[in-house]
Structure 1
Amino acid sequence: MATNRGRGSGLLRFAESRKNLAGCAGGLAGLALTFTGAAGAYWPLVVAGLYGAGALIAPPERIAAPHFPDAAEQLDVLREDFTRLREYVASLQLPPAAAGRLTELDALLSALVEHGQWSSDPDSFHALTRAVREDVPEAVDTFVRARWWTRFTPGTEPPERHLERQLTLVHEELATVASSLRKAEEQRQESLTYYLEKRPSRSGD
Protein backbone atom coordinates (compact mmCIF):
# COMPACT_ATOMS: atom_id res chain seq x y z
CA MET A 1 0.00 0.00 0.00
CA ALA A 2 2.80 2.41 0.85
CA THR A 3 4.45 1.64 -2.52
CA ASN A 4 1.23 2.33 -4.39
CA ARG A 5 0.75 5.61 -2.57
CA GLY A 6 4.34 6.56 -3.40
CA ARG A 7 3.81 5.80 -7.09
CA GLY A 8 0.54 7.71 -7.09
CA SER A 9 2.09 10.78 -5.55
CA GLY A 10 5.00 10.56 -8.00
CA LEU A 11 2.62 10.44 -10.96
CA LEU A 12 0.68 13.36 -9.55
CA ARG A 13 3.86 15.42 -9.18
CA PHE A 14 4.83 14.62 -12.77
CA ALA A 15 1.35 15.51 -14.04
CA GLU A 16 1.62 18.91 -12.36
CA SER A 17 5.23 19.51 -13.41
CA ARG A 18 6.25 22.29 -15.75
CA LYS A 19 7.72 19.85 -18.27
CA ASN A 20 4.51 17.84 -18.54
CA LEU A 21 2.38 20.97 -18.82
CA ALA A 22 4.65 22.40 -21.52
CA GLY A 23 4.65 19.05 -23.30
CA CYS A 24 0.84 18.91 -23.19
CA ALA A 25 0.72 22.38 -24.72
CA GLY A 26 2.96 21.17 -27.53
CA GLY A 27 0.83 18.06 -27.96
CA LEU A 28 -2.31 20.18 -28.23
CA ALA A 29 -0.60 22.24 -30.91
CA GLY A 30 0.14 18.99 -32.74
CA LEU A 31 -3.52 17.97 -32.51
CA ALA A 32 -4.51 21.34 -33.89
CA LEU A 33 -2.25 20.73 -36.88
CA THR A 34 -3.79 17.29 -37.27
CA PHE A 35 -7.33 18.70 -37.37
CA THR A 36 -6.31 21.24 -39.99
CA GLY A 37 -4.71 18.49 -42.09
CA ALA A 38 -1.23 19.96 -41.89
CA ALA A 39 0.19 16.95 -40.07
CA GLY A 40 -0.98 14.45 -42.66
CA ALA A 41 -0.59 10.74 -42.08
CA TYR A 42 2.29 11.30 -39.68
CA TRP A 43 0.17 13.13 -37.10
CA PRO A 44 1.06 10.74 -34.23
CA LEU A 45 4.74 11.53 -34.72
CA VAL A 46 3.98 15.25 -34.94
CA VAL A 47 1.99 15.20 -31.70
CA ALA A 48 4.65 13.15 -29.89
CA GLY A 49 7.44 15.33 -31.27
CA LEU A 50 5.77 18.57 -30.19
CA TYR A 51 5.08 17.10 -26.77
CA GLY A 52 8.74 16.13 -26.41
CA ALA A 53 9.90 19.53 -27.65
CA GLY A 54 7.67 21.31 -25.17
CA ALA A 55 8.94 19.14 -22.33
CA LEU A 56 12.56 19.79 -23.32
CA ILE A 57 12.31 23.58 -23.50
CA ALA A 58 10.29 23.89 -20.29
CA PRO A 59 12.28 25.40 -17.37
CA PRO A 60 13.25 22.93 -14.66
CA GLU A 61 11.21 22.67 -11.49
CA ARG A 62 12.31 25.14 -8.85
CA ILE A 63 13.18 23.36 -5.62
CA ALA A 64 11.97 25.33 -2.64
CA ALA A 65 14.70 26.48 -0.30
CA PRO A 66 14.66 24.84 3.15
CA HIS A 67 12.87 26.80 5.83
CA PHE A 68 14.79 27.67 8.95
CA PRO A 69 13.00 29.21 11.92
CA ASP A 70 13.65 32.91 12.29
CA ALA A 71 14.38 34.68 15.56
CA ALA A 72 10.69 35.18 16.37
CA GLU A 73 9.89 31.49 15.88
CA GLN A 74 12.89 30.42 17.92
CA LEU A 75 11.88 32.80 20.71
CA ASP A 76 8.37 31.36 20.84
CA VAL A 77 9.78 27.86 21.26
CA LEU A 78 12.24 29.08 23.89
CA ARG A 79 9.41 30.65 25.89
CA GLU A 80 7.63 27.30 25.93
CA ASP A 81 10.83 25.61 27.11
CA PHE A 82 11.24 28.22 29.85
CA THR A 83 7.70 27.53 31.06
CA ARG A 84 8.49 23.82 31.29
CA LEU A 85 11.71 24.60 33.15
CA ARG A 86 9.79 26.65 35.71
CA GLU A 87 7.33 23.83 36.25
CA TYR A 88 10.16 21.36 36.74
CA VAL A 89 11.98 23.55 39.27
CA ALA A 90 8.77 24.33 41.15
CA SER A 91 8.21 20.61 41.72
CA LEU A 92 11.49 20.24 43.65
CA GLN A 93 12.51 20.95 47.22
CA LEU A 94 15.71 22.99 47.07
CA PRO A 95 17.85 24.36 49.92
CA PRO A 96 17.00 27.96 50.92
CA ALA A 97 20.25 29.47 49.60
CA ALA A 98 19.98 27.71 46.23
CA ALA A 99 16.28 28.51 46.02
CA GLY A 100 17.04 32.20 46.60
CA ARG A 101 19.71 32.22 43.91
CA LEU A 102 17.34 30.42 41.57
CA THR A 103 14.64 33.04 42.24
CA GLU A 104 17.04 35.80 41.21
CA LEU A 105 18.04 33.84 38.13
CA ASP A 106 14.40 33.20 37.25
CA ALA A 107 13.65 36.94 37.32
CA LEU A 108 16.58 37.65 35.01
CA LEU A 109 15.67 34.80 32.66
CA SER A 110 12.08 35.98 32.53
CA ALA A 111 13.16 39.49 31.52
CA LEU A 112 15.50 38.17 28.83
CA VAL A 113 12.97 35.72 27.44
CA GLU A 114 10.43 38.54 27.11
CA HIS A 115 12.97 40.63 25.23
CA GLY A 116 12.05 40.45 21.56
CA GLN A 117 15.04 41.95 19.74
CA TRP A 118 17.40 39.02 19.23
CA SER A 119 17.88 38.91 15.47
CA SER A 120 20.86 41.30 15.66
CA ASP A 121 22.52 39.54 18.61
CA PRO A 122 22.66 35.78 17.94
CA ASP A 123 25.49 35.19 20.41
CA SER A 124 23.49 36.56 23.35
CA PHE A 125 20.44 34.61 22.22
CA HIS A 126 22.56 31.45 22.16
CA ALA A 127 23.69 32.14 25.73
CA LEU A 128 20.07 32.55 26.82
CA THR A 129 19.00 29.38 25.01
CA ARG A 130 21.84 27.41 26.56
CA ALA A 131 20.93 28.63 30.04
CA VAL A 132 17.27 27.61 29.69
CA ARG A 133 17.77 24.30 27.94
CA GLU A 134 21.08 23.09 29.35
CA ASP A 135 22.74 24.98 32.20
CA VAL A 136 19.90 25.42 34.68
CA PRO A 137 18.13 22.06 34.21
CA GLU A 138 21.44 20.18 34.25
CA ALA A 139 22.62 21.97 37.40
CA VAL A 140 19.37 21.24 39.23
CA ASP A 141 19.15 17.65 38.04
CA THR A 142 22.77 16.96 38.97
CA PHE A 143 22.11 18.36 42.45
CA VAL A 144 19.04 16.18 42.93
CA ARG A 145 20.94 13.04 41.98
CA ALA A 146 24.01 13.94 44.05
CA ARG A 147 21.90 14.76 47.11
CA TRP A 148 20.39 11.28 47.04
CA TRP A 149 23.86 9.73 47.46
CA THR A 150 24.94 11.95 50.37
CA ARG A 151 22.97 9.77 52.79
CA PHE A 152 25.37 6.91 52.01
CA THR A 153 28.57 9.00 52.07
CA PRO A 154 28.39 11.33 55.08
CA GLY A 155 31.10 13.93 55.51
CA THR A 156 31.46 14.78 51.82
CA GLU A 157 31.04 18.29 50.44
CA PRO A 158 27.36 19.29 50.41
CA PRO A 159 26.04 19.19 46.83
CA GLU A 160 24.10 22.42 47.37
CA ARG A 161 27.38 24.33 47.37
CA HIS A 162 28.01 23.23 43.80
CA LEU A 163 24.44 24.11 42.87
CA GLU A 164 24.74 27.60 44.33
CA ARG A 165 28.03 28.18 42.52
CA GLN A 166 26.67 26.90 39.22
CA LEU A 167 23.58 29.11 39.44
CA THR A 168 25.78 32.07 40.35
CA LEU A 169 27.95 31.53 37.28
CA VAL A 170 24.91 31.30 35.01
CA HIS A 171 23.47 34.44 36.59
CA GLU A 172 26.74 36.33 36.04
CA GLU A 173 26.83 35.33 32.38
CA LEU A 174 23.24 36.39 31.78
CA ALA A 175 23.78 39.61 33.73
CA THR A 176 26.49 40.45 31.20
CA VAL A 177 23.99 39.79 28.40
CA ALA A 178 21.43 42.06 30.08
CA SER A 179 24.03 44.78 30.53
CA SER A 180 24.87 44.64 26.81
CA LEU A 181 21.21 44.91 25.93
CA ARG A 182 20.79 47.88 28.25
CA LYS A 183 23.76 49.67 26.68
CA ALA A 184 22.42 49.00 23.20
CA GLU A 185 19.04 50.49 24.15
CA GLU A 186 20.76 53.51 25.70
CA GLN A 187 22.76 54.10 22.52
CA ARG A 188 19.62 53.80 20.44
CA GLN A 189 17.87 56.30 22.68
CA GLU A 190 20.79 58.73 22.52
CA SER A 191 20.88 58.41 18.74
CA LEU A 192 17.20 59.26 18.52
CA THR A 193 17.69 62.30 20.76
CA TYR A 194 20.61 63.47 18.62
CA TYR A 195 18.57 62.99 15.44
CA LEU A 196 15.62 64.95 16.80
CA GLU A 197 17.89 67.77 17.98
CA LYS A 198 19.63 68.05 14.60
CA ARG A 199 16.55 67.60 12.43
CA PRO A 200 15.64 70.84 10.65
CA SER A 201 12.58 72.50 12.10
CA ARG A 202 9.55 72.89 9.81
CA SER A 203 7.70 75.28 12.07
CA GLY A 204 8.20 78.14 9.64
CA ASP A 205 6.69 76.30 6.66
Structure 2
Amino acid sequence: MATSRGVLRFLESRKNLTGSACGIAGLALTFAGVAGPYWPVVVAGLYGAGALVAPPERPAPPGFPDPSEQLGEVREDFGRLRDYLAEVDVPPVAAARLTQLDELLTALLDPGWAAELLAQDPEALHALGRAVRQDVPEAVDTYARTRWWTRIAPGQEQPERHLERQLTLVHDELTGIVGTLRETEARRQESHTRYLEERNP
Protein backbone atom coordinates (compact mmCIF):
# COMPACT_ATOMS: atom_id res chain seq x y z
CA MET A 1 0.00 0.00 0.00
CA ALA A 2 2.78 2.41 0.96
CA THR A 3 4.74 1.40 -2.17
CA SER A 4 1.80 2.15 -4.46
CA ARG A 5 1.35 5.55 -2.80
CA GLY A 6 5.05 6.26 -3.31
CA VAL A 7 4.84 5.32 -7.00
CA LEU A 8 1.75 7.49 -7.46
CA ARG A 9 3.48 10.38 -5.68
CA PHE A 10 6.48 10.04 -8.03
CA LEU A 11 4.28 9.91 -11.13
CA GLU A 12 2.59 13.15 -10.05
CA SER A 13 5.84 14.85 -9.01
CA ARG A 14 7.24 17.90 -10.77
CA LYS A 15 10.44 16.04 -11.64
CA ASN A 16 8.59 13.24 -13.45
CA LEU A 17 6.21 15.61 -15.24
CA THR A 18 9.04 17.88 -16.40
CA GLY A 19 11.18 14.91 -17.42
CA SER A 20 8.27 13.37 -19.30
CA ALA A 21 7.68 16.63 -21.19
CA CYS A 22 11.36 16.73 -22.19
CA GLY A 23 11.21 13.04 -23.16
CA ILE A 24 8.24 13.74 -25.42
CA ALA A 25 10.28 16.52 -27.01
CA GLY A 26 13.01 13.93 -27.60
CA LEU A 27 10.49 11.67 -29.35
CA ALA A 28 9.44 14.58 -31.53
CA LEU A 29 13.08 15.10 -32.49
CA THR A 30 13.31 11.38 -33.30
CA PHE A 31 10.27 11.53 -35.61
CA ALA A 32 11.78 14.62 -37.23
CA GLY A 33 14.88 12.59 -38.01
CA VAL A 34 17.22 14.63 -35.81
CA ALA A 35 18.10 11.97 -33.21
CA GLY A 36 19.00 9.23 -35.68
CA PRO A 37 19.80 5.74 -34.39
CA TYR A 38 20.67 7.14 -30.94
CA TRP A 39 17.11 8.26 -30.22
CA PRO A 40 16.76 6.14 -27.02
CA VAL A 41 19.79 7.92 -25.55
CA VAL A 42 18.42 11.31 -26.62
CA VAL A 43 14.99 10.63 -25.11
CA ALA A 44 16.46 9.27 -21.87
CA GLY A 45 18.92 12.15 -21.66
CA LEU A 46 16.25 14.78 -22.17
CA TYR A 47 14.05 13.07 -19.56
CA GLY A 48 16.94 13.06 -17.07
CA ALA A 49 17.79 16.68 -17.81
CA GLY A 50 14.17 17.72 -17.33
CA ALA A 51 13.97 15.85 -14.05
CA LEU A 52 17.15 17.55 -12.83
CA VAL A 53 16.07 21.11 -13.65
CA ALA A 54 12.54 20.69 -12.27
CA PRO A 55 11.91 22.61 -9.03
CA PRO A 56 11.99 20.40 -5.94
CA GLU A 57 8.82 19.26 -4.29
CA ARG A 58 7.85 21.08 -1.13
CA PRO A 59 5.08 20.20 1.29
CA ALA A 60 2.24 22.67 1.60
CA PRO A 61 2.43 24.78 4.78
CA PRO A 62 -0.09 23.88 7.48
CA GLY A 63 -3.35 25.77 7.31
CA PHE A 64 -3.48 27.61 10.61
CA PRO A 65 -6.58 29.69 11.36
CA ASP A 66 -6.31 33.36 10.50
CA PRO A 67 -6.60 36.02 13.24
CA SER A 68 -10.33 36.55 12.69
CA GLU A 69 -10.96 32.82 13.14
CA GLN A 70 -8.77 32.79 16.26
CA LEU A 71 -10.74 35.71 17.65
CA GLY A 72 -13.98 33.85 16.99
CA GLU A 73 -12.62 30.84 18.88
CA VAL A 74 -11.66 33.03 21.84
CA ARG A 75 -15.15 34.55 21.76
CA GLU A 76 -16.70 31.07 21.94
CA ASP A 77 -14.38 30.08 24.80
CA PHE A 78 -15.35 33.27 26.62
CA GLY A 79 -18.97 32.17 26.46
CA ARG A 80 -18.01 28.84 28.04
CA LEU A 81 -16.00 30.68 30.70
CA ARG A 82 -19.04 32.78 31.57
CA ASP A 83 -21.16 29.66 32.01
CA TYR A 84 -18.51 28.21 34.32
CA LEU A 85 -18.17 31.37 36.42
CA ALA A 86 -21.94 31.57 36.85
CA GLU A 87 -21.80 28.31 38.82
CA VAL A 88 -18.85 29.20 41.09
CA ASP A 89 -19.24 30.85 44.47
CA VAL A 90 -16.57 33.51 45.07
CA PRO A 91 -16.21 36.20 47.75
CA PRO A 92 -17.69 39.67 47.07
CA VAL A 93 -14.37 41.40 46.26
CA ALA A 94 -13.42 38.68 43.76
CA ALA A 95 -16.95 38.75 42.32
CA ALA A 96 -16.60 42.48 41.72
CA ARG A 97 -13.26 41.93 40.00
CA LEU A 98 -14.80 39.18 37.84
CA THR A 99 -17.56 41.59 36.85
CA GLN A 100 -14.95 44.12 35.76
CA LEU A 101 -13.12 41.44 33.79
CA ASP A 102 -16.37 40.38 32.15
CA GLU A 103 -17.10 43.94 31.05
CA LEU A 104 -13.57 44.40 29.74
CA LEU A 105 -13.54 41.09 27.84
CA THR A 106 -16.99 41.78 26.42
CA ALA A 107 -15.85 45.15 25.10
CA LEU A 108 -12.74 43.62 23.52
CA LEU A 109 -14.47 40.61 22.00
CA ASP A 110 -17.68 42.20 20.74
CA PRO A 111 -17.70 42.22 16.92
CA GLY A 112 -16.75 45.61 15.58
CA TRP A 113 -13.79 47.88 15.02
CA ALA A 114 -12.18 47.05 18.38
CA ALA A 115 -12.18 43.33 17.61
CA GLU A 116 -10.83 44.01 14.10
CA LEU A 117 -7.97 46.01 15.60
CA LEU A 118 -7.32 43.27 18.15
CA ALA A 119 -7.15 40.64 15.40
CA GLN A 120 -4.24 42.58 13.87
CA ASP A 121 -2.16 42.30 17.06
CA PRO A 122 -0.99 38.67 17.51
CA GLU A 123 0.53 39.30 20.96
CA ALA A 124 -2.60 40.97 22.28
CA LEU A 125 -4.75 38.21 20.82
CA HIS A 126 -2.55 35.58 22.46
CA ALA A 127 -2.74 37.35 25.83
CA LEU A 128 -6.52 37.64 25.54
CA GLY A 129 -6.89 33.96 24.73
CA ARG A 130 -4.59 33.02 27.61
CA ALA A 131 -6.67 35.10 30.03
CA VAL A 132 -9.92 33.46 28.90
CA ARG A 133 -8.65 29.88 28.59
CA GLN A 134 -6.08 29.68 31.35
CA ASP A 135 -5.59 32.57 33.75
CA VAL A 136 -9.15 33.26 34.92
CA PRO A 137 -10.47 29.67 35.05
CA GLU A 138 -7.31 28.41 36.75
CA ALA A 139 -7.42 31.19 39.34
CA VAL A 140 -11.06 30.45 40.18
CA ASP A 141 -10.65 26.67 40.17
CA THR A 142 -7.54 26.81 42.35
CA TYR A 143 -9.40 29.04 44.79
CA ALA A 144 -12.33 26.62 44.99
CA ARG A 145 -10.07 23.65 45.70
CA THR A 146 -7.81 25.49 48.15
CA ARG A 147 -10.80 26.86 50.06
CA TRP A 148 -12.00 23.31 50.69
CA TRP A 149 -8.64 22.32 52.21
CA THR A 150 -8.50 25.53 54.24
CA ARG A 151 -11.82 24.65 55.87
CA ILE A 152 -10.38 21.30 56.96
CA ALA A 153 -7.06 22.74 58.14
CA PRO A 154 -7.59 26.40 59.09
CA GLY A 155 -4.77 28.76 59.99
CA GLN A 156 -3.21 29.08 56.55
CA GLU A 157 -3.25 32.20 54.38
CA GLN A 158 -6.75 32.84 53.10
CA PRO A 159 -7.21 31.70 49.47
CA GLU A 160 -9.42 34.73 48.84
CA ARG A 161 -6.37 36.99 48.92
CA HIS A 162 -4.62 34.98 46.22
CA LEU A 163 -7.74 34.95 44.07
CA GLU A 164 -8.22 38.69 44.36
CA ARG A 165 -4.55 39.32 43.57
CA GLN A 166 -4.61 36.98 40.55
CA LEU A 167 -7.75 38.54 39.11
CA THR A 168 -6.28 42.00 39.64
CA LEU A 169 -3.15 41.02 37.72
CA VAL A 170 -5.24 39.63 34.85
CA HIS A 171 -7.32 42.81 34.81
CA ASP A 172 -4.17 44.93 34.73
CA GLU A 173 -2.83 42.93 31.79
CA LEU A 174 -6.05 43.32 29.83
CA THR A 175 -6.11 47.03 30.65
CA GLY A 176 -2.62 47.19 29.20
CA ILE A 177 -3.94 45.62 25.99
CA VAL A 178 -6.63 48.29 25.83
CA GLY A 179 -3.94 50.95 26.25
CA THR A 180 -1.87 49.43 23.44
CA LEU A 181 -4.86 49.38 21.09
CA ARG A 182 -5.69 52.97 22.02
CA GLU A 183 -2.12 54.03 21.23
CA THR A 184 -2.32 52.28 17.87
CA GLU A 185 -5.44 54.22 16.98
CA ALA A 186 -3.89 57.46 18.25
CA ARG A 187 -0.84 56.94 16.03
CA ARG A 188 -3.13 56.26 13.10
CA GLN A 189 -5.00 59.47 13.78
CA GLU A 190 -1.76 61.47 14.06
CA SER A 191 -0.51 59.93 10.82
CA HIS A 192 -3.66 61.00 9.02
CA THR A 193 -3.31 64.52 10.42
CA ARG A 194 0.28 64.74 9.11
CA TYR A 195 -0.85 63.44 5.73
CA LEU A 196 -3.51 66.15 5.48
CA GLU A 197 -1.07 68.83 6.61
CA GLU A 198 1.50 67.78 4.01
CA ARG A 199 -1.15 67.66 1.33
CA ASN A 200 -2.34 71.14 2.23
CA PRO A 201 0.77 73.17 3.18
TM-score normalised by the shorter chain: which range applies?
0.7 to 0.9
Rounded Cα–Cα distance in structure 1 between residues aligned with 2:90 and 2:139: 12
User: What corresponds to 2:184 in structure 1?
Assistant: 184
Structure 2 counterpart of 1:97, from 93, 97, 120: 93
User: What corresponds to 1:174 in structure 2?
Assistant: 174
Structure 1: gaps (5+ residues): none
| Compared CA separation, residues 30 and 144, structure 1 to 2 (3 A) | same
- Indicate the SS of the match to 1:117: helix
Identical-pair percentage = 63
| Compared CA separation, residues 55 and 94, structure 1 to 2 (3 A) | same
Rounded Cα–Cα distance in structure 2 between residues aligned with 1:149 and 1:49: 79
How far did residue 40 of structure 1 move?
4.8
Rounded Cα–Cα distance in structure 2 between residues aligned with 1:190 and 1:52: 61
Structure 2: gaps (5+ residues): none
- Indicate the SS of the match to 2:153: coil
Task: State the one-letter code of the partner of 1:184.
Answer: T
Rounded Cα–Cα distance in structure 2 between residues aligned with 1:92 and 1:184: 37
| Compared CA separation, residues 177 and 46, structure 1 to 2 (3 A) | closer
How far did residue 23 of structure 1 move?
1.6
RMSD: 3.0
User: What corresponds to 1:19 in structure 2?
Assistant: 15
How far did residue 146 of structure 1 move?
0.6
User: What corresponds to 1:153 in structure 2?
Assistant: 153
How far did residue 171 of structure 1 move?
1.2
How far did residue 161 of structure 1 move?
2.5
Tell which deviates more after alignment, 65-74 or 13-22. Answer: 65-74
Q: TM-score scaled by structure 2?
A: 0.77
How far did residue 51 of structure 1 move?
2.0
Rounded Cα–Cα distance in structure 2 between residues aligned with 1:199 and 1:37: 70
Q: TM-score scaled by structure 1?
A: 0.76
How far did residue 172 of structure 1 move?
2.1
How far did residue 97 of structure 1 move?
2.7
Task: State the one-letter code of the partner of 1:168.
Answer: T
Task: State the one-letter code of the partner of 1:23.
Answer: G
- Which residues of 2 match residues 106-125 of structure 1 at below 5 A? 106-114=102-110, 115-118=115-118, 121-125=121-125
Number of corresponding residues: 197
